[in-house]
Amino acid sequence: MAQIYLASPFFNEDQITRIEKVEKALEENSTVKSVFSPRKDDVSEYEEFSKEWAKVVYKHDITNVEEADYVVAVLDFVGDNVDSGTAYEIGAAVQMGKPVIIFHENDHPVNLMISESLHAYIKDFDDLKNYDFNTLPSSEYNGKMF
Q: In the predicted model, what is the mean pLDDT of residues 4-25?
A: 94
Cα 87 from Cα 90, distance rounded (Å): 5
Q: What is the mean pLDDT of residues 10-18?
A: 91
Residue 46 is predicted with a pLDDT of 86
- Say whether pTM exceeds 0.75: yes
- The three-point CA angle 16-20-26 to 5° equals 145
Burial class of residue 26, CB neighbours in 10 A (0-12, 13-18, 19+): buried
Q: Which residue has the higher pLDDT, 5 or 82?
A: 5
In tens, the pLDDT along 90-142 reads 999 999 999 999 999 988 999 999 999 999 999 999 999 999 999 999 999 99
Using CA atoms, how far apart are residues 47 and 50, in angstroms rounded to an integer?
6
| Higher pLDDT among residues 32 and 49, named by residue | 32
pLDDT confidence of residue 90: 98
Domain topology for 2-130: Rossmann fold (3.40.50)
Give pLDDT tens digits for 55-101.
999 999 999 999 999 999 999 876 778 899 999 999 999 999 999 99
**Alpha-carbon distance 125 to 120, whole Å?**
14
* Amino acid 43: pLDDT: 75
Angle 83-88-94 (CA atoms, 0-180°, nearest 5)?
Answer: 130
